[in-house]
A and B are shown apart, each in its own frame.
Chain A
């Protein structure tokens, strides 16, 4: 009897039965505001207080422009390399069983776990002219350490897991029956890949690309050791921010940071909109 009463009374009480909405949401908003929003607002306030003349001087400085160009150009190159090789790695991990696959799978996340400064000095040791890899590349006339190429190498290291980890689960879920259907209709493997598999994983590939790009644009620790940091040649934008800060040029540092954040957020927003538009067009 009492059990029946309990069952009957449940549906009516359900909407408000869980407590703690006020305190948890309140704490979440307060902590978010204090740690993230207030400091970012300080950047916006500082940027808003910068005069047009100051903006003009900073944004026409060739050192600033080449640093921004290297950060975004290098990140774009690294994200493209990671898209190709990340897809290859994800494909091999999902499709081809080989001994030690679980170990290889665990290694993918190394760039997430290894501190960037450690990665930076390790890559420099490898690619320096007397390093294991630098020594092999030097006779070929390829210089990696202390050149823009070194910047790209560090950005490839830092961005790889983003592509592999976003593509892997989607590749796992690709319906094998669709591939069989394509094959039974006479499609070769290359054709099936391009027309059946690739369209299915394209959104995840694009997400992985944009995550790798966003990470590489702002990357600092793994890049500054191998870059050589020659102003105008191999100096990245985050390092120029640090340099300006050390010279107490807060206006300059803020301006470069604002431009970087502006471009990054626009790119991420564009990718999000593209994904939404794609989903709408595909009807689901």
Chain B
């Protein structure tokens, strides 16, 4: 009989591989995170609080929240509509549609911003028309919102499509046969079935929406107090050599990242079976 030993590495090898993997993670992932907090508090608690209390910092926080509050719900509605159409019906061109939905993930953030400049900028295709009607998209909040929607476009849909496909159509069909309206079936059957996957997608979508830098940087124009989001404000402070200020704002974003990871891990732990369908 084979013993388990034959398919296990010697203890020394296992120990060495584990140490090597942990050292790599400590160097590349943990060290930057610790550095953010260390730099933010390098001159003490008082300097940290002072760095966060500037007007420009507050307006950047407000803008980041506003942008996320518009972009995330829109992408949720889109994700629900797209996954309903794709998972509950058969039609040709479905796999092309799924590829197109994931397209923004393979576009550089800078190019995601550039395409909106080419469309809505002064020299852009719709630029003259916007000027005529006194509308401003680029170097204004609408451009920031659009670029954010673009880069976070696939997050919710990508979680929901495989989950709804896995759950099939029988439950909705049963509800409908029993007299429920389509919307009631969606609300009482579909939504509870996919809620954890939905929350998971929303979480990642929100983290990216609040943290997006490249795409937003291209369309924002960096007007202090007006079109500066938190990540852009970090850059401005950093380039002005206000390191405590830059890292203090960065620490808020780092906390957002940690909360996102914590909730995500908790979801994965509590709802392993439901999320297993989507490969997490």
Contact = CB atoms under 8 A, between A and B. Distances in A.
Interface of A: 6, 10, 13-14, 17-21, 23-25, 27-29, 31-32, 35-40, 42-43, 45-46, 85, 88-89, 91-93, 95-96, 98, 102, 104-119, 121-123, 125-126, 131-133, 153, 156-157, 160, 169, 176, 179-180, 183-184, 189, 192, 214, 217-221, 225, 238-239, 241-242, 245, 248, 250, 253-254, 257, 260-261, 264-265, 268
Indicate the size class of the contact surface on chain B.
Answer: 35 or more
A39 B103 CA distance: 12
A76 B44 CA distance: 41
B213 A189 contact: no
B76 to A, nearest CB: 12
A45 B25 CA distance: 44
Contacts of A112: 204, 207
Nearest to B234: A117
Given A92-B17, A110-B257, A119-B32, A265 B231 contact: no
B257 A39 contact: no
A242 B35 contact: no
B150 interface: yes
B97 A115 contact: no
A260 B108 contact: yes
Contact of A21 (B89, B125, B232, B279): B89
5 contacts: A25-B85, A106-B261, A117-B213, A133-B27, A220-B217
Given A46-B118, A254-B118, A88 B82 contact: no
Contact of A117 (B84, B123, B231): B231
Given A37-B100, A113-B260, A42 B115 contact: yes
A239 B235 CA distance: 14
B154 to A, nearest CB: 9
A18, A25, A113, A253 interface centre (most CB from chain B within 10 Å): A113
B201 interface: no
B202 interface: no
Contacts of B91: 21, 25
A183 B39 CA distance: 52
A19 B18 contact: no
A238 B109 contact: yes
Given A93-B21, A114-B254, A117-B234, 20 more contacts: A18-B182, A23-B81, A32-B82, A42-B119, A85-B21, A92-B18, A106-B261, A108-B25, A113-B256, A114-B211, A115-B210, A117-B235, A125-B247, A189-B9, A214-B105, A214-B106, A218-B110, A238-B111, A250-B123, A261-B111
Given A24-B84, A121-B234, A180-B7, A126 B32 contact: yes
B153, B213, B258 interface centre (most CB from chain A within 10 Å): B213
Interface stretch (B51-59, B128-136, B171-179, B191-199): B171-179
B169 interface: yes
A156 B108 contact: no
Given A88-B21, A242-B218, A122 B115 contact: no
A172 B258 CA distance: 26
